[in-house]
Structure 1
Amino acid sequence: MAEINELNDNLKQCKKRLFNWNTKGCERIHIWGNYIDVTPGEQNKYFSVQIVNKQYIMCGVHMYSNLNGEHYDERVALAEEIMYSIKHIKQRLQTEHVIVIGDINESPYEKACLSAKGFHALPALQILDKGSRTVYGKEYEKMYNPMWNLFGDFKYPPGTYYRVESKLYNPCWFMLDQVIISQSMIPLMVKEQLKIITKCGKGVLYTDNRYPNSNISDHFPIMCEFNI
């Protein structure tokens, strides 16, 4: 709680007034924003749904980690629960605008992100593409995951999290922190502002080896911007 209070005090010094949105029921997630017309949706231990200006659905997530055992299937089930909750809000508000953002704790190519039963977040999607696909007679809405564009070593950093384990399968760099958006949000996204943050006003966020500095955070933060 001390860290949250310190962050809150630092945010108060920003030029823009930021409000701590209501995430009661989701102690793992805290959200600040400059929008006042914000109504909380479903609050769960692992996600917080917020309705902004009665037309934008934003869901902050902090999903199951693999540090204490693999939880691939559990994350798929949680992603399915999140999308089910969002679907009902979309129907009620008659909107298609959705942003899912946060620590998904798996990379874009893994089950919860790509599975049609999960986020169904594809690496390529255009505004004119068909917005869904049918699997065994059931229709699944497509989402878009722009984080694929930041993956790999063409530009530092290669991901948001670094971990080496004695396993045959270990990419070392992982893109655990992501933003996933609905098809309707694609033209509103400012592509140049999708970034992995490695520096802040107080200095760099990485070690001498250029890995995330766990004394600050074991994950690099991300940022994105939308014209709304």
Structure 2
Amino acid sequence: MQGGDKMNLLYWNLKSNKNEEYIALLIKEHSIDIAIFSEYSGTDFSTITHTLLSDAYQFYQGYGGCEKVVMLAKKTIQVEINREHSRYVLYSVISDSSKYIVAGTHLPSNPHTDADGRKMVIRELIADLKEQEKIHKHTYSIIIGDLNASPFDEELIQKDAFNAVLYKEVIQNKSEIVYQHRKFRLLYNPTLNHISETNHQYGSFYYTGDSKSLYWYCYDQILMTRDLVDKFQGMEYCQSINGKSLLKKISPNKAISDHLPLVAKFERSVNDE
């Protein structure tokens, strides 16, 4: 984002497949500044950084505290790993005069856990995020990843979990809510506004395994603090890369991944201290 006016983020659950060329093409096509991946064991990131992206990006794997999430970022961007949990990594990001805290996340899925198990992780994440905001003295914070829950699920909307609202107007007029004599900060979840049958934006994950299936689920999401709401420019679940479809019939092609990539775009947030 050096000298630019946008910051573009990518998240993709890779299903442990070999996806080097797809990743490089996707990063180029959407001018991605920061890319976060999970289930990445089949991908050779050295090939991506040194060959396919011509050494323009740095790979950040962490120090062993999290085996679920890794990052690629432009070398013009300063990245520091601040906190590793088994299910998320908190990064501080500086580009020009813009500062962010980015939480790359992969919450546990059913049947390995349930909503209560995910909420336990979410509460730890929120506490760690607030601690990093105090350290870095700003609240330009983003949570992005595979949340293994849909926008209306209790993990997303419960006050002592993510407490994420689906409408911008709500968080623009109210930064927190009081419940049982306690204050809970609101986050903004833009997913609902960007689902569209007209634009073929159904979700990121296709599942037909039970009688109550929705078919398409929005498990891959981005949440943000109030400070970033007006800078957010949109998101999409990418159904193709460089003209090549990521779908097989109606669902994601599992030979590539069972999840579609999520791309989110922000206007640059200048937040000098």
Provide the rounded CA distance (Å) in 1 between the counterparts of 2:103 and 2:58.
16
Deviations 1:7-35 (A, max 9, x none): 44234433781111242221111111115
What is the CA distance between 1:204 and its match in structure 2? 1.1
What is the CA distance between 1:118 and its match in structure 2? 1.1
| 1:81-120 equivalent positions in 2, closer than 5 A | 81-120=124-163
Contact 1:125 1:183 in 2 (8 A): no
With structure 2 as the length reference, what TM-score do the two structures score? 0.75
Q: Which has the higher strand share?
A: 2
| 1:195 and 2:236 are equivalent in the alignment | yes
Q: In angstroms, what is the RMSD of aligned CA positions?
A: 2.0
- Where does residue 114 of structure 2 map in the other structure? 71
SS of residue paired to 1:105: coil
2:189 is aligned, of 106, 123, 145, to 145
Contact 2:49 2:59 in 1 (8 A): no
Q: Considering Cα pairs closer than 8 Å and 6+ residues apart, tell me whether 1 or 2 has the greater RCO.
A: 2
| 1:35-184 equivalent positions in 2, closer than 5 A | 35-53=76-94, 55-66=99-110, 68=111, 71-126=114-169, 128-151=172-195, 153-167=197-211, 169-184=212-227
1:218 is aligned, of 246, 250, 258, to 258
- Where does residue 53 of structure 2 map in the other structure? 14
With structure 1 as the length reference, what TM-score do the two structures score? 0.89
**Percent identity at matched positions?**
20
Deviations 1:137-163 (A, max 9, x none): 000000000111233534313111111
Rate the CA distance shift 1:87–1:18 in 2: closer, same or farther, 3 A: same
User: Where has structure 1 moved over 6 Å in runs of 4 or more?
Assistant: none
Contact 1:131 1:142 in 2 (8 A): yes
Runs of at least 5 residues in structure 2 that lack an aligned partner in the other structure: 1-39, 269-273
Runs of at least 5 residues in structure 1 that lack an aligned partner in the other structure: none
- Where does residue 42 of structure 2 map in the other structure? 3
Contact 1:107 1:176 in 2 (8 A): yes
